[in-house]
């Protein structure tokens, strides 16, 4: 894990210009991914081969924005064997922009790769019966906050906590809960968005946040055993269920016809 963290820390410091130059020089068939947690899920890609029989290489570049920017600059390293994987993020609700619809650029089915792992594996079954009502109550509370904050985010009216705020900042802050969900002048609560996320939260709720809410009940002090979120991701990736498996299949298909 330390090696992965070091690799991704280095990637975050590399500029897109430097990455373009690296891709111009490489002879390896390369899959560009976002960062540290993604390496855990996509590590198995390095066991896949392209048309020539060469194994694929994964390249974490330090963020989703860099993945998309490299895709947009792909003409600068044309002729190289490159595919890209990015989280759908807010586009899971609004749709992927047309300019990014390309066979070489693979987006997650859900909000992020964490969503796809959580959709494939029933980690909620690890909850003790006594913890299930608490988990459901906290999840419903967080979804309400997230729905409102998401609607502000896509409208460009974000103020206060960002949609990426850790759930602990919302769920452990009971004194200001009413302030967190208070409507502003002229604002209407996004009922449709809230309904959509609530009905399929494993797809539409930000994956890192959903995982963090779950971990509040799977790793609290005194629980035996205490689980680790990265171990759950690794477990889910190793089983390679339908959603994660579909990404692997797309990547494999992208390289099958490449020399």
Residue 186, sorted as left (phi over 0), alpha (psi -120 to 50) or beta, turns out to be left
> Mean of the pLDDT values across residues 86-113?
97
Nearest partner of 215 among 230, 203, 201, judged by Cα? 230
> Mean of the pLDDT values across residues 31-52?
92
The count of structural domains within the chain is 2
Tell me if 217 is assigned to some domain.
yes
Together in a domain, 217 and 248: no
State the residue for tokens 């020539």.
52
Nearest partner of 244 among 190, 195, 217, 207, judged by Cα? 207
What pLDDT digit, counting tens, does each position of 126-178 carry?
999 999 999 999 999 999 999 999 999 988 876 777 899 999 999 997 668 88
Together in a domain, 13 and 101: yes
Q: What CATH number does residue 81 fall under?
A: 3.40.50
Tell me if 78 is assigned to some domain.
yes
Does 225 sit behind a cis peptide bond, omega within 30 degrees of 0 on the bond before it?
A: yes
Q: Is the pTM of this model over 0.75?
A: yes
Calpha distance 147→142 (Å, rounded):
8
Together in a domain, 13 and 111: yes
Tell me if 231 is assigned to some domain.
no
Together in a domain, 156 and 88: no
Tell me if 232 is assigned to some domain.
no
Tokens at 103, concatenated? 């066979």
Together in a domain, 159 and 82: no
Together in a domain, 25 and 111: yes
Tell me if 19 is assigned to some domain.
yes
Per the prediction, the chain carries an average pLDDT of: 92
* Range(s) of the domain holding residue 104: 2-117+239-256
């Amino acid at each position: 894990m330390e090696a992965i963290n070091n690799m991704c820390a280095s990637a975050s410091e590399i500029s897109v210009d430097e990455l373009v130059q690296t891709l111009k020089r490489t002879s390896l068939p390369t899959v560009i991914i976002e960062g540290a947690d993604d390496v855990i899920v996509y590590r198995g890609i390095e066991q896949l081969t392209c048309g020539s029989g060469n194994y694929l290489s994964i390249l974490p570049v330090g963020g989703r924005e860099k993945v998309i920017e490299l895709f947009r600059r792909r003409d600068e390293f044309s002729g190289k064997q490159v595919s890209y994987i990015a989280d759908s993020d807010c586009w899971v609700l609004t749709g992927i922009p047309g300019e990014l619809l390309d066979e070489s650029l693979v987006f997650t089915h859900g909000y992020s790769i964490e969503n796809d792992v959580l959709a494939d594996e029933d980690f909620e079954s690890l909850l003790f019966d006594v913890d299930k009502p608490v988990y459901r109550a906290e999840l419903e509370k967080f979804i309400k906050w997230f729905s409102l904050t998401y609607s502000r985010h896509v409208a460009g009216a974000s103020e206060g906590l960002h949609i990426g705020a850790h759930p602990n900042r919302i769920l452990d802050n009971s004194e200001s809960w009413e302030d967190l969900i208070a409507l502003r002048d002229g604002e209407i609560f996004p009922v449709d968005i809230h309904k959509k996320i609530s009905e399929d939260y494993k797809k539409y709720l930000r994956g890192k946040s959903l995982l963090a809410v779950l971990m509040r009940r799977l790793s609290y002090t005194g629980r035996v055993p205490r689980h680790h979120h990265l171990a759950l991701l690794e477990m889910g990736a190793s089983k390679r269920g339908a959603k994660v498996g579909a990404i692997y299949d797309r990547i494999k298909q992208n390289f099958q016809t490449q020399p």
